[in-house]
């Protein structure tokens, strides 16, 4: 059984790519617009920012915890069913978010339902079926197109969310975004398929449990996991709190949407570039340099007077560094441990990313409510970036040598 045969009937590789990319665009784009709603929703309902931040933190945590299960269900029952179900949960969560009146309402909707919905409509599940639809020779191209197209959701959906928010208010705007997110349900019909049977050529005879134990004994695995925790902290804190931070400094709320859109634009270029450079240079050294660059960019942003220009420069620059960690981190996992259990091992690393996201979002809200400022969290982000830069450098990135099974 081959893993790269084109889907039968109308589900050609091109159709799977287009529909899968649209699912990623909607899922990723709508989610990244939530930061625009922090300030108006909190003010209207009389809440501190920690309430909204906690709900988004729960979203990130449940996304990470449910991701391995969503992948397993997609392999067992088919991607289309899982993606359609999760898209329905996602849309329901966004709609109930628009009707929230209590902190529990917001946590259940934006946190629990959207978090679980993301596990079946996000990159891990959708890119897997895109990759299986084509031959190995075309796989990298298709995965790159899907990733870049999905990342463009931030560039497109954030301005749309801001326009709806300005015209209709936060509740109606969220209800409209929920209706748009329902488009993922019919699009899911195109991403049918499940994992093919095991290849006849395997990397040794180890079991999944043995592979996990092997990784747990490798210091590099823990360094990668710790570094990805830092990535999650940065991305979630900035995406959720930057629009409110901008308005706090007296800027127009529309500038927050422009800032997030610029991050999305930079992310498209940065993700493509890091994947390109990772094929030519040491991935661990690139990661060290990337986190060091994040520390520098955040430090300069905090130290210089805040202006429209500084906000735009920061957004464009941090966007290039945004998810450029993903191809390098996942590439190192595959390089060291092989691809046989790549999904499981990278899934564990991804869980750490979401734990960092939980902490970054929640800590931002807690510190702001306690001090009236995000300054402490900005400097925590700098310190974590410096730590991540340091721990990637000594990783032993040589592929593990496994003994051949006895005959």
Whether 276 has a pLDDT exceeding 80, the answer reads no
d(CA 230, CA 53) in angstroms, rounded, equals: 18
* Residues in contact with 355: Cβ distance below 8 Å, sequence separation at least 6, in sequence order: 61, 64, 229, 232
Averaged pLDDT for residues 170-198: 85
Neighbours of 194 (CB within 10 A): 17
| Domain 208-398 listed as CATH 1.20.1250.20 | yes
Protein fold of 10-196: Growth Hormone; Chain: A; (1.20.1250)
Torsion sign (Cα): 229, 235, 241, 247 = positive
d(CA 269, CA 276) in angstroms, rounded, equals: 11
Q: Where are the domains of the chain?
A: 10-196, 208-398
3-state helix, strand, coil in the chain (%, to 5): 80, 0, 20
Q: What band does 332 get if pLDDT is binned at 50, 70 and 90?
A: confident
Q: Supply the pLDDT for residue 279.
A: 73
Do the domains 208-398 and 10-196 match in fold?
Answer: yes
Distances in Å between the Cα of 241 and the Cα atoms of 82, 133, 276 are 31, 38, 31
The string of pLDDT tens digits covering residues 56-114 is 989 988 998 888 788 777 767 778 999 999 999 999 999 999 999 999 999 999 999 99
Record the tokens describing residue 261, joined without a space. 């859109």
Whether 287 has a pLDDT exceeding 90, the answer reads yes
The string of pLDDT tens digits covering residues 113-155 is 999 999 989 877 787 777 777 776 666 567 667 777 777 887 8
User: H or E element: which one contains 345?
Assistant: helix 342-371
For 112-147, b/e burial (b = at least 16 CB within 10 A) is bbbbbbbbbbbbbbbbbbbbbbbeeeebeebbebbb
The string of pLDDT tens digits covering residues 188-228 is 999 876 555 444 334 555 666 777 787 778 888 899 889 99
Q: Residue 28: which of 90, 104, 95, 105 has the closest Cα?
A: 90
């Amino acid at each position: 059984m081959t893993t790269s045969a084109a889907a039968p009937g109308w589900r050609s590789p091109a159709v799977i790519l287009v529909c899968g990319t649209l699912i990623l665009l909607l899922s990723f784009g709508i989610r990244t617009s939530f930061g625009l709603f922090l300030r108006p929703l909190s003010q209207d309902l009389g809440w501190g920012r920690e309430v909204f931040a906690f709900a988004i933190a729960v979203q990130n945590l449940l996304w990470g915890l449910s991701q391995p299960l969503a992948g397993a269900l997609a392999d067992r029952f088919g991607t289309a069913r899982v993606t359609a179900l999760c898209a329905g949960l996602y849309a329901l969560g966004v709609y109930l978010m628009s009707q929230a009146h209590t902190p529990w309402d917001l946590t259940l909707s934006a946190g629990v339902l959207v978090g679980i919905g993301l596990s079946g409509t996000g990159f891990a599940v959708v890119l897997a079926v895109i990759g299986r639809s084509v031959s190995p020779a075309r796989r990298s191209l298709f995965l790159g197109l899907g990733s870049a197209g999905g990342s463009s959701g931030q560039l497109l959906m954030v301005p749309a969310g801001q326009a709806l928010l300005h015209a209709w208010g936060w509740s109606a705007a969220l209800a409209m975004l929920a209706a748009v997110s329902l488009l993922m349900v019919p699009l899911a019909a195109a991403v049918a398929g499940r994992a093919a049977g095991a290849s006849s050529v395997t990397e040794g005879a180890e079991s999944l449990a043995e592979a996990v134990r092997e990784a747990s004994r490798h210091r590099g695995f823990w360094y990668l996991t710790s570094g990805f925790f830092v990535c999650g902290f940065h991305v979630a804190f900035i995406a959720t709190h930057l629009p409110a931070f901008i308005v706090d400094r007296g800027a127009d709320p529309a500038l927050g949407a422009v800032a997030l859109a610029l991050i999305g634009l930079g992310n498209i270029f940065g993700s493509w570039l890091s994947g390109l450079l990772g094929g030519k240079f040491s991935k661990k050294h690139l990661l060290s340099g990337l986190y060091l660059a994040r520390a520098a960019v955040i430090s300069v942003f905090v130290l210089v007077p805040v202006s429209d220009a500084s906000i735009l420069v920061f957004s464009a620059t941090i966007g290039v560094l945004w998810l450029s960690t993903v191809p390098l981190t996942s590439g190192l996992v595959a390089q060291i441990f092989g691809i046989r259990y790549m999904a499981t091992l990278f899934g564990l690393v991804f869980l750490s990313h979401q734990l960092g996201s939980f902490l970054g979002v929640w800590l931002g809200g807690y510190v702001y409510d306690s001090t009236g400022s995000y300054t402490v969290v900005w400097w925590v982000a700098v310190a974590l970036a410096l730590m991540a830069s340091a721990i990637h450098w000594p990783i032993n990135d040589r592929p593990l040598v496994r003994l051949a099974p006895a005959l």
